[in-house]
Amino acid sequence: MEEHRPRSPWLSEDVWSIWLGWAVLLAALGATWLASAGGEKATNPLAPRLADLGSWVSNPLDAFVGKQGENVLPGVAGVFVALLALFSVGLAGMRERVRSFPLAFTLLFLLTMFAYLLAGQKVVKHYNLEYALWALTVGLLISNTIGTPAILKPAVRAEFYIKTGLVMFGAEVLFHLLLKLGPPGVFIAWVATPTTLILTYLFGQKVLKIESKSLNMVISADMSVCGVSAAIATAAACKAKKEELSLAIGISLAFTVIMMVVMPPVINWLELGPVLGGAWIGGTIDSTGAVAAAGDALGETGLMVATTVKMIQNILIGAVAFGVAMYWVTCVEKSPDGSRPSLMEIWRRFPKFVLGFIAASILFSLLSTSGAQGEAVASAATATSKTLRGWCFCLAFVSIGLETNFRELKQYLAGGKPLVLYVCGQTLNLALTLAMAWLMFTKVFPDAAASLNQ
């Protein structure tokens, strides 16, 4: 009888998400370098061939008209072709069936376009109800009414899409942003955040006694670090179920909308100012887009401080994923005889796509600090990766909805414990982040706040 050979790690989604993400980044960099050869202004010739849907008021067809009055449909078609080719190559590389993928992906992409269309309505956009919320809702409505059609299932690969998107996202997380706020920004993001994560997880285990440790960890990481991106990385590290990830993301998106609307007027009422208020927003609101919208309500300084703190916090994704993988292997899933697992076991559990994220962050950080030309090239190149990354995330959220059944979520909602965990954890997060921001900007580094206010 032939022995079953374990699947090679080189055929995994983690590894192929790195190859695909880096293929996009290198193609964008290469095209930008060639276009800017001879000292000309850095431009990315790939960017105009890729597009997002625009906004609309009463006629949804207006979403296909760009800011300059151009037709964006060819750009959207360019995104479709690029992603279909990209993920088809990925599936072939993982030695999976590709034959039924193109049709399924086409239908999934149409659903993703519909989610983008809903998010682009002017009133909806004003309240920053982002595409993630609509994409998840579209998928959930289908899966919990008619059920996910079999013809769609070959393309429902949430983790593959979002892992690839996260590798591209690394190009937007730049280490030199640490220098903008200096030590205050680092302390706010790197002390308050892990402290909140650990205390929230312990609260869930010791006080709420949540049965699923992986659900507890995913909610704690989602709420304390940087929302969906951290939830995905943490879920991979602790092998959380898709239903648990979907629940954590759903709670996070709902509270993100509430906090984005409520925090700016509260900050103005408390007279915290743009620096302290911006740092509070950046360290507590989960979504980067919502952080920008809330920070913008405090003015230019508030926007800069809020988004910078959030980007500093985003750098923690890799560290948190590694820490969770190590904790899960050594404590949660330790062997009954008490023997310590090998480092290889921790490596097997660690989500490898995070390495692609970190490498992209390092490369683009170095490029952005290499001079005016390097910064311009990096900025122009990320125009391509940002567009494709957004579509990858939206595809992933639709897929998560399609994979989630409310009946299967009932067991995780027992007693409302996940909601209580999020509310209590976020309350701690708000208090701890504000205290740290006040301490850093008013007592320890008051000159930093003064310089930012100028």
Q: What is the pLDDT of residues 267-293, one digit of tens each?
A: 999 989 898 999 999 999 887 777 877
The answer to whether residue 3 is domain-embedded is no
The answer to whether residue 408 is domain-embedded is yes
Q: Are 15 and 352 in contact (CB under 8 A)?
A: yes
Domain interval for residue 274: 9-453
The answer to whether residue 331 is domain-embedded is yes
Q: What is the pLDDT of residues 120-169, one digit of tens each?
A: 888 887 766 778 888 888 998 999 898 889 999 999 998 899 889 888 98
- Which of left, alpha, beta for 433 (phi over 0: left; psi -120 to 50: alpha)? alpha
Give the Cα separation of 166 and 385 in Å (integer): 10
The answer to whether residue 53 is domain-embedded is yes
Q: Are 83 and 51 in contact (CB under 8 A)?
A: no
Looking at residue 434, its pLDDT comes to: 94
The answer to whether residue 1 is domain-embedded is no
Which residues does the chain have with pLDDT short of 70? Answer: 1-10, 37-42, 127-128, 176-179, 335-346, 408-414, 452-454
The answer to whether residue 88 is domain-embedded is yes
| Alpha-helical runs (H) found in 315-444 | 316-327, 343-349, 353-368, 372-403, 406-409, 417-438
Phi, psi of 39 (to 5 degrees): 80, 10
Q: Are 157 and 100 in contact (CB under 8 A)?
A: no
Looking at residue 51, its pLDDT comes to: 81
Please state the domain count of the chain.
1
DSSP 270: H
Q: How many Cβ atoms sit within 10 Å of the Cβ of residue 252?
A: 22
Helix (H, G, I), strand (E, B) or coil at 71: strand
The answer to whether residue 329 is domain-embedded is yes
Tell me what percent of the chain is helix, strand and coil, each rounded to the nearest 5. Answer: 75, 0, 20
Q: How many contiguous H segments (helices) and E segments (strands) does the chain have?
A: 22, 0
Q: How many Cβ atoms sit within 10 Å of the Cβ of residue 198?
A: 14
Looking at residue 405, its pLDDT comes to: 77
Give the Cα separation of 310 and 306 in Å (integer): 6
Q: Considering only CA atoms, which of 225, 218, 157 is closest in space to residue 20?
A: 157
Angle of helix 316-327 relative to helix 228-238, nearest 10 degrees, comes to 30
The answer to whether residue 183 is domain-embedded is yes
Phi, psi of 196 (to 5 degrees): -65, -45
Looking at residue 77, its pLDDT comes to: 93
Q: Are 115 and 397 in contact (CB under 8 A)?
A: yes
